[in-house]
Chain A
C-alpha cells in the first residue's frame, strides 16, 4: 500500500497523515471486508457444518452432540441418499437452474452485445432499464408475476387465446395452467436473474477491441463467422461469470419456488427451509445445506483449477 505523498499535503495536516500512515489504518480498511466474511460467512458456515454432524433432540435448540453418536452423527448425510425426496429436490433444483441459466444466456447475450453497439446516450438509457427492476422489491415483482400467471389474468387469457388460435380445436384450453409449475419457477427466475447475466457479459464484451472484428472481416469472414470465431470465444469469461451469478442463486432459490412452484416437486432451498422451520430437524437441514454448497462449489473449484493449469501450460510453452 503506497503511503500518501507527504509533500502534497498542507503543513497543518501533515501530522494527521503521518499518524494515519504509521498506525496502519490502511491495513484495517483492507482487512474489514475479510473480517466481515470471516465472521458472518465462514464462522456461521462452520456452525452449520458442526450442526450437520449433531443429533436431533426435542430440546431447544433442537440438537445435541451427545447420546448414541457422540460428536459425529452421519444420519443426516445417510438420509440424503436413502430418501429419494432429497435426490429429487436436488435434481429439480439443478435442472431448473440450468434451464434458467441457459435461457438467461440466450436472452442476455444479444442484449449485452446490443448494448455495446449502440451510441453512448442510448447505452446509458438501456443499461438503466436493465437495472431498473432492482428499484422495486423483489417480493413485489414475484407477486406481480403471480398475478400475471393466475388463470383469470389478462396475461393468461391473452396467451390462452393465442394458444387456442394456433393449435387444433381439441387441444383448446380454458386457461393455461402456469402457476405452481416448474415452468413458472423457471420463468420468474429468468426474469429475476437476467440482469446478473447481462451485466458481466456487457462488461466483458465492452472491453473487446472492435478492430478485432474488422480484422476478421478483412480476412474474409462474414458477420456470423466473425461472431463465432472472435466475439464468442473472447466472451467466454463473461459467459462463465454471468452463468455462475445466475446458476448459483437459482439452484438455492427459496422464495420463487415457494411462491409460484409446484409444492410436490420442491427445490432444495424449500427443503432446507422446511427441515429447519417445520420439521425442526436442524442437523438434517444442515446436512442438506452442506451438500448443496459442495454441489455448487465443487464444479467452480474444478473449473478454476483446470483453468489455472491451462494458463500454466500456456506460459511454459517455448
Chain B
C-alpha cells in the first residue's frame, strides 16, 4: 500500500524527465491572482487531470500552456524548451476548447484539415491524415456537413479530431465533456482514454467533475483559489488527501476534532471527544504527541450494526436520517454530542423495508478500520 504522498511527488513515473514543467507560475489579472505560484510536472503519455471548483484558475493555467496568456511570473517548460514568449502558433500544443470553437463556415472535413494547412505535407498525405482522424472519432460519414448540422456529441468529436490532427506533443482539453449528457459522457470518457492510448499523446484534462477526473486521469492536481493543493493518483488523492479541502472536495467526509495521545509505529492513538474516547488511526509523517489533529471518515468506510462490535474503533449514535438510493443507503447518525455522521452502506442483498439494518431513532454502533481513517494535520 502506498504511503501518503507529499504534494507534487511523481507517482508511477519516478525517474522519468518531466515532459511539461510548470515552475512557480503566477498569473494576475489586475490585482486579482487567478493562478498562484503553481509548480507541477507532467510526464509523457499520461492523462493529467486538473480538478477544482469554478473560478479556481484551471482554464487560466491551460491557456498559459497553450500560449494565450503569459504568466505574470514563473516559467513553463515543454519537452525541455522554455515556452516563455513563444506564440500559440509555434507551440507543439493543441487545445480542445470548452465551447469546441469549430469554424462554422467550414465542413467537418475542412475543420479537421485546418491545422494541417501549415504542415509540410502533400495534398494526398493531408487527405489521408484527415480520413484517419475522422475514422478515429467515427465521423467519416459526416465529413461534408457543417458544424451546425451535427449533434453536440459529434461536434465534440470533431473538436477532438481537429486538435489531434497535427499530432501535437501535448493536448489540452478544457472541460471536454461538460456539454454532454450523463450517458454520452460516460461513454465518451472511455473513448477519450482509448484514443489517448492509441495515439500516445500526453493529455491535460480540465474538469470540475471529480468522478470524471478520477475515471480519466493517471494523476490529478486538485486546485483551489489558484493554488495546487495536492497532486497524486486518483487513489492517493481519494484515500490519502493531505488537507481538509482535498478530502472534502473529492468525495464526502465527516470530520472530528482529535488530539494525538501516543504514536505507536504505524498507528496513532487519538483522543476523540465526539466518539466518546480513544481511537486509533494510521499515522502520518511528522505527527507529534499532544498535537491537535482532524480525524476524517468517508461514509463508505464506516460499518454500521445493531450490536456493539468487538473493535476498539467503535462508537454509538442514533439514526436521525435515512435515504434509500437503490444501490446503497445513506444513514445520518447523530452522536451523543450532537455531531452528525454520514454512513453509506451498500445494499448487497435485496431486503424489504422492515428488514433494514436500522431504522429511524434506532440506537446503532459504528466502527472503522484504523487504516481507513484519514488523519489531517491542522
Contacts and interface: CB of A to CB of B under 8 A. Distances in A.
B114 A229 contact: yes
Contacts of B102: 215
Interface in B96-127: 97, 99, 101-105, 114-115, 117-119
A219 interface: yes
Interface residues of B, number: 28
B95 interface: yes
B4 interface: no
B89 A211 contact: no
B145 interface: yes
A99 interface: no
Contact of B104 (A220, A221, A234, A315): A234
B114 A216 contact: yes
A215 B89 contact: no
A232 to B, nearest CB: 10
B146 A314 contact: yes
Nearest to B114: A219
B111 to A, nearest CB: 9
A214 B101 contact: yes
Contacts, number: 64
Nearest to A210: B101
A317 B105 contact: no
Contacts of B115: 219-220
Contacts of B332: none
Contacts of B118: 219-221
A233 B146 CA distance: 15
Contacts of A222: 89
A229 to B, nearest CB: 7
A100 to B, nearest CB: 28
A124 B146 CA distance: 35
Interface string B66-78: 1010000000000
B66 A218 contact: yes
A205 to B, nearest CB: 14
B98 to A, nearest CB: 8
A314 B104 CA distance: 13
B99 A209 contact: yes
B94 interface: yes
A176 interface: no
Given A217-B88, A234-B105, A317-B145, A211 B97 contact: yes
B215 to A, nearest CB: 26
Interface in A278-318: 314-315, 317-318
A218 B88 CA distance: 5
B117 A220 contact: yes
A209 B162 CA distance: 18
A71 interface: no
Q: Give the secondary structure class of A's interface.
A: helix
B94 to A, nearest CB: 6
Interface string B170-208: 000000000000000000000000000000000000000
Nearest to A211: B101
Nearest to A230: B103
Contacts of B155: none
Given A209-B99, A229-B114, A317-B145, A218 B104 contact: no
Contacts of B89: 217-222
A139 interface: no
Q: Which of A215, A217, A221, A229 has the most CB of B within 10 A?
A: A215
B144 A214 contact: no
A277 interface: no
A315 B144 CA distance: 11
B166 interface: yes
A233 B103 CA distance: 10
A318 B144 CA distance: 8
A104 to B, nearest CB: 24
Contacts of A234: 104-105
A221 B88 CA distance: 9
B97 A216 contact: no
Nearest to A208: B104
Interface string A220-247: 1110000001100110000000000000
Contacts of B162: 219
Nearest to B90: A220
A30 to B, nearest CB: 30
A222 B163 CA distance: 17
B103 A214 contact: no
A239 B105 CA distance: 16
Contacts of B119: 220
A212 interface: yes
Nearest to B141: A318
A217 B118 CA distance: 11
A317 B145 CA distance: 7
Contact of B88 (A214, A229, A233, A315): A214
Contacts of B93: 218
A216 B141 CA distance: 24
A222 B114 CA distance: 13
Interface in A164-188: none
B117 A214 contact: no
Interface in B125-153: 141, 144-146, 149
A106 B296 CA distance: 67
Contacts of B104: 212, 234
Nearest to B165: A219
Given A220-B118, A317-B145, A215 B97 contact: yes
A317 B144 CA distance: 8
Q: Which of A209, A219, A233, A315 has the most CB of B within 10 A?
A: A219
A209 B117 contact: no
B146 A215 contact: no
Given A212-B103, A214-B68, A317-B144, A220 B97 contact: no
10 contacts: A211-B101, A214-B95, A215-B102, A215-B103, A218-B94, A219-B115, A221-B117, A229-B103, A234-B104, A318-B141
Interface of A: 209, 211-212, 214-222, 229-230, 233-234, 314-315, 317-318
Nearest 5 CB-CB pairs, A to B? A219-B115, A220-B118, A215-B101, A211-B101, A217-B88
Given A214-B68, A218-B93, A222-B89, 14 more contacts: A211-B101, A212-B101, A212-B104, A214-B95, A215-B95, A217-B68, A217-B89, A218-B68, A218-B88, A218-B95, A219-B89, A219-B162, A220-B117, A230-B103
